[in-house]
A and B are shown apart, each in its own frame.
Chain A
Amino acid sequence: MHLLTGEEIKASMAPARGLFVDPLLDPGQIASSGIDLRLGYDFLVGVTTRRPSFDLRPPASDQPRGIASYFQETRRDLGDKFVLYPNQVVLTTTLEYLCVPENMSVNLETRSSLNRLGVHVGTSLQPGYTGCASLELFNHGHTPIELVVGARVVQARIFRLDATHAYLGKAPRKYVANVRPEVSRILEDSELARLRAIWERNSNAGRDID
């Protein structure tokens, strides 16, 4: 695995199948060993509801409340402020739409300036990923922070891999070519159905003994 330098990043931005970053508002975003990416303009803000918790293993008979209902959508324009309050979960994306080649992967980390204010994001993009990268913002500090839409917030480190890995084809993908934040689709994880079956069997076994 090889961390691409700035020059290698520029070289890999070929039109059809190479690394794709759109828009690249300032070529200066390409640093010595990564690309700075900007804060996007769509946000999903966590809201308080009457439910006590997210149930990630709801009973099969229950109609689960859609996870989207725990978030409120809001949009801004370039240059607008977005206030991130302490202990608030906010989903957003990078301003840039990215295409990661099948022989590369990307790690995203908040810039040091934001880390020092108590905001930390760490995520990665798999080979073949397309879309605006999802950013899950959380303010660990005590003071609200006024973020600016379009400001550089994360740095992408890009790694060339030894083999190619197709993003689509082998298994269904939940997040494809997304251009705005999407709530978690964890309830679609197939293992949750298996785990629910195990739990139900365990529960019934307990009743038999009793």
Chain B
Amino acid sequence: MPHSLTDTNLRLLDGKLCSLCDTAYFDARIVDYLDALRSVIATLLRRQPVVPDLLRDFLAREIWKGVQFLAGSAMRLQPFEAIYGLRAAARDWIKEDVLIITALTQQQNFYFQAIHPLFYKITKDLLQLEVEADVVQVALPDVYRHKPLFSVALYHEFGHFIDRRFQLSANVELLFPNLTLPSLSAPPAGWTQEVFRNARKAHLREYFADLFAASYTGGAIKRFVDDFAANADVSTSHPKTYDRVQVIEALLTGKNHRVIEAFRHALHARQCPDLTPKYSRPNVEEAFVNLRTARLQGVSEVHGILEAGWEFLHQAADRDEGVWQHIEDADAERIVNDLVAKSIRNWMLGEQWSHAPADG
């Protein structure tokens, strides 16, 4: 049989998975997923049942992605506190229990990626192999792993993931092709119709990701967008920052906005969760002023502490009473992020403790 690059890749990937077998993963489901990938590889290499080469190539590419997720897993440096809220948000939107694998990157970048849904369909229907569905890789910068406030961007990226999953912004464009987007009522000079069409789609994707994040983190995403995309003008990939902030503000203050209404319509038709704020803001002032953790009262406050934490941080520099007058600005950022992280972690610990049987 002539040399097959796909076969070679599969064998190499199996070797890599084998070497990862001894890694102590936190989640037993990750171990099951690893074993399942190896089963798929073994079946493909046996060439029984027969799978067309193009489909084999596709499956091999998705397996490679899966190996990338596993090999890049943060494992012993899991940013539990930054991810907990996302897991809760995932349960709102995706009914199955999503298996989230976290990677810490050296890039100044946040992203989500997942195995293509066709992979699960083919392995189940054609190869008769069950592979855990909905494995998602979340990546955030390594330097932010103890900074939950800066991981607000993860909610925005998760919004993109949900959009891709349900094609919500595409649905809006399909339903409302004449919807006038802010600062994009007509193609700017030099843009072709095709560029303009693609920009509309891109802008809708960004608005949805912002609205998704705002429904969980409130004003925190607004501050983040303002800080990271300060004064950005309209581009083919992103709306003007001013317009993004206006749309977020409209959601948070309950004002009407045509972009929000369009998404609400699409979400309702698809019986998806709506964009109603799902967070409640805990009162952290008294706790943080005294350098104490806040005692959270539920998952909605785990989301809401991000908004509360951001606001406290922005005011910390102006505090001239109590212990905060003795704290330097650089320490203030570290302390607020740590208090937010520990408050979230304490909530998680309480949940784990109370849900475990007393006698094991």
Direct contact of A and B (CB under 8 A): yes
Report A's interface with B, CB cutoff 8 A. 15-17, 20, 22-23, 25-26, 73-80, 95, 97, 99, 130, 132, 150, 167-169, 176-180
Which residues of B177-222 have CB atoms within 8 Å of chain A's CB atoms? none
Cβ of A20 to closest chain B Cβ, rounded Å: 5
B95 within 8 A of partner (CB)? no
Contact A78 B349 (CB under 8 A): yes
New A-B contacts (18) at CB < 8 Å, excluding given A76-B76, A79-B352, A179-B345: A17-B290, A22-B346, A23-B346, A23-B353, A26-B353, A74-B76, A74-B77, A77-B26, A80-B26, A97-B292, A130-B292, A132-B342, A150-B353, A168-B327, A177-B291, A179-B338, A180-B146, A180-B338
Contact B350 A78 (CB under 8 A): no
Contact A16 B290 (CB under 8 A): yes
Q: Which of A17, A23, A132 has the most CB of B within 10 A?
A: A23
Cβ of A82 to closest chain B Cβ, rounded Å: 11
A76–B342 Cα distance when bound, in Å, is: 15
Which listed residue (B146, B295, B339) contacts A177, Cβ 8 A? B339
A79–B327 Cα distance when bound, in Å, is: 35
A157–B78 Cα distance when bound, in Å, is: 33
Cβ of B350 to closest chain A Cβ, rounded Å: 5
Counting from the closest, the 9 A-B pairs by CB-CB distance are: A168-B326, A179-B342, A130-B291, A74-B76, A179-B338, A23-B346, A25-B353, A177-B291, A177-B335
A76–B345 Cα distance when bound, in Å, is: 12
A150–B26 Cα distance when bound, in Å, is: 16
- Beyond A78-B349, A169-B326, is A22–B295 a contact (Cβ under 8 Å)? yes
Q: Which of B146, B292, B327 has the most CB of A within 10 A?
A: B292
- Beyond A23-B350, A78-B353, A168-B323, is A176–B291 a contact (Cβ under 8 Å)? yes
Cβ of A133 to closest chain B Cβ, rounded Å: 13
Residues of A contacting B: mostly: loop
Chain B hits for A132, CB < 8 A? 342
Chain B hits for A15, CB < 8 A? 286
- Beyond A75-B76, A78-B352, A97-B342, is A176–B293 a contact (Cβ under 8 Å)? no
A150–B346 Cα distance when bound, in Å, is: 12
B227 within 8 A of partner (CB)? no
Which listed residue (A80, A97, A130, A168) contacts B346, Cβ 8 A? A97
B316 within 8 A of partner (CB)? no
Contact A77 B80 (CB under 8 A): yes
Chain A hits for B290, CB < 8 A? 16-17, 99
Chain A hits for B331, CB < 8 A? 176
Q: Which residue of B lies closest to A23 (CB)?
A: B346
Chain A hits for B292, CB < 8 A? 20, 22, 97, 99, 130
Q: Which of B76, B80, B326, B352 has the most CB of A within 10 A?
A: B326
- Beyond A16-B286, A97-B293, A168-B323, is A178–B338 a contact (Cβ under 8 Å)? yes
B251 within 8 A of partner (CB)? no
A177–B77 Cα distance when bound, in Å, is: 21
